[in-house]
Structure 1
Amino acid sequence: MPEHSADRIAFRYLCLRGFGYMLLIAALLEIVLFEATHMPDLRFTERGLTEPLQSLLLLTGTIMALIARRLDDRLPHLTLLLIGLLGASLIREQDAWLDEYVFDGAWQILVSLLVLPILFVVIRHGRAFAAELERYAMTFSGGLFAAGFLGTYVFSRLYGRGDMWKAVLGEHYVRVFKDAAEEVTELFGYTLMCIAMIELLLLARRWRQQRLQGRG
């Protein structure tokens, strides 16, 4: 069996998973609509629904990446970096809670304790990581993750700027428009990253099966 044959996804499975992902996105936006409609005092805040959904997606993505790493060892440095990125983002989403109930700036320390050792390992094995990244970039999971990363950490930040919405709305500007724009686009970015980790898990499972069949 060719080495990269397990990277491919059969058309029927691609369609089924695509339909499932569309249902997931639709369900998330229905929750956002419920928050906007029925929670006027809490919408798009830490006590609303959108931000906890973001944390849930990040937690799920982190768990998926951890399982994928255990299933197959072909992308050890890349999966480690993904775990660090998703884990750091999850910690960052708890900043208000950590600042209030632990101490101010706690999330920065926790992120540093998680990310710095991972970056050290990845940089130390830079050539291996580059080769893994090249392979991952050619997969469905890699494309989804890149889209989610850009959507979350670039588009969401720029699209949710207060200056932009003040220019668009003028005298009708209300902060909730800015918050909605930023939080919902961020939610979609996290959704893509979570889906990417589901696809990575499925890919690792196919690689594992391929390896076991090769031994048989």
Structure 2
Amino acid sequence: MPRHLPPEVPTPIDFRATSLRALLYIILIGLLMQGVMIEALGLEGQRFSERGFVEPAQSLLLAGSTGLALYVRLTSPRLTHVSLLLLALPLASLIREQDAWLDAWVFDGAWQTLVALLVLPVLFVVIRSRHAFAREFERYANSFSFGLFAAGFLTTYVYSRLFGRSEMWQAILGEAYLRTFKDAAEEVTELFGYTLLFFAMIELVLLVRRWRRLSAD
């Protein structure tokens, strides 16, 4: 029978390590926002499009999150089903972010087909193994990684969609409305959400490594 840590076993994070990671996260956020500023100032006619800074940065963050989730999937038997779901979400979002390229070079609606082919089997596996998934989720839900993941999920898939509504920006700006305002609000908020998801995957990898060390003690 595989050796598992029960949910109540603490997995403490060293204060100095936490402070260092917090500093690195702040620096990364600052660099991303500087990239947004450069796009706003220097890419007239291409701002907040596939040729700008924000959308490629989103794809890079999603690719990083996918790679980290895949690492957890391959190395941690404690989160077999949770890691599958965590892998599917950024990968599906990464496919979605390539919609313009896929529509132009594969076929119109290609990203929807690819996402469906990814998400439906994953959901089938998770639902079929829902009891095992629930046990794993209890272990994961008490972690810093899950807090970041929940914040990133809500920011990206709920708040950014509502904050980027054209109707709201038309009401706010009136006759001064330009679509750029709406695009900037939605895309930059989405960028921050993807950043939180990336941080969550980093923390998940570190959590798995702490579990491994505790198991070896």
TM bucket normalised to smaller: over 0.9
Q: Taking structure 1 as the reference length, what is the TM-score of the superposition?
A: 0.95
CA distance in 1, matches of 2:94, 2:12: 30
Deviates more, 1:55-64 or 1:71-80: 71-80
Residues 1:131 and 2:130 are matched in the alignment: no
Q: Which residue of 2 aligns with 1:179?
A: 183
CA distance in 1, matches of 2:9, 2:40: 45
- 1:5: how far off? 4.9
Q: Tell me if structure 2 keeps the 8 A contact 1:165–1:178.
A: yes
SS of residue in 1 equivalent to 2:38? helix
CA distance in 1, matches of 2:121, 2:107: 23
CA distance in 2, matches of 1:36, 1:110: 32
- 1:113: how far off? 1.2
Q: Which residue, 22, 32, 48 being the options, matches 2:52?
A: 48
Q: Residues 105 and 163 from structure 1, CA distance in 2 versus in 1: closer, same or farther, beyond 3 angstroms?
A: same
Structure 1 residue runs of 4 or more that deviate by more than 6 Å after TM superposition: none
CA distance in 1, matches of 2:10, 2:209: 9
Cα RMSD for the two superposed structures: 1.2
- 1:47: how far off? 1.3
Q: Which residue of 1 aligns with 2:169?
A: 165
The C-alpha deviation readout for 1:148-203, integer Å capped at 9, x for no partner, is 00000000000000000011111111110000000000000000000000000111
Aligned residues: 212
- Structure 1 counterpart of 2:63, which letter? L
CA distance in 1, matches of 2:143, 2:115: 28
Q: Taking structure 2 as the reference length, what is the TM-score of the superposition?
A: 0.94
Q: Which residue of 2 aligns with 1:109?
A: 113
Q: Which residue of 2 aligns with 1:196?
A: 200
Deviates more, 1:152-161 or 1:104-113: 104-113
The C-alpha deviation readout for 1:67-122, integer Å capped at 9, x for no partner, is 12222211110000011111100000000100001100111111111111111110
Q: Which residue of 2 aligns with 1:145?
A: 149
SS of residue in 2 equivalent to 1:92? helix
- Structure 1 counterpart of 2:122, which letter? I
CA distance in 1, matches of 2:204, 2:11: 10
- 1:140: how far off? 0.3
- Unaligned 5+ residue runs, structure 1? none
Q: Which residue of 1 aligns with 2:76?
A: 72
- 1:66: how far off? 0.8
Q: Tell me if structure 2 keeps the 8 A contact 1:6–1:210.
A: no
CA distance in 1, matches of 2:67, 2:10: 22
Q: Tell me if structure 2 keeps the 8 A contact 1:71–1:208.
A: no
SS of residue in 2 equivalent to 1:47? coil
CA distance in 2, matches of 1:68, 1:93: 23
- Unaligned 5+ residue runs, structure 2? none
Residues 1:210 and 2:214 are matched in the alignment: yes
* Percent identical: 60
SS of residue in 2 equivalent to 1:74? helix
Q: Which residue of 2 aligns with 1:30?
A: 34
